[in-house]
Amino acid sequence: MAKTLCDWKKDDIAKHPDRLAKLLLDPCFFCKKCARSSNSRKALCKPVALPSLVSFR
């Protein structure tokens, strides 16, 4: 099993949609390398805080 979401293989995604769902709920971070998002900084290889959506309204 890959350490970060960025390293998940196609098989990991297919086998662990429940784990994926937990990591994707209310994302606060995105990976500046892979553009993945997560609520866990540890799940991303280059985590950066997501800008608040309020500022885009």
- Which residues of the chain form contacts with Zn ion (CB under 5 A)? 6, 31, 33-34, 45
Distance from C-alpha of 15 to C-alpha of 35, rounded to nearest angstrom: 22
Identity of the residue, 20 or 45, whose beta carbon is nearer to Zn ion in the bound complex: 45
Residue 33 CB, shortest distance to Zn ion, in Å, is: 4
Distance from C-alpha of 54 to C-alpha of 32, rounded to nearest angstrom: 20
Residue 11 CB, shortest distance to Zn ion, in Å, is: 18
Identity of the residue, 1 or 54, whose beta carbon is nearer to Zn ion in the bound complex: 1
Distance from C-alpha of 28 to C-alpha of 32, rounded to nearest angstrom: 13
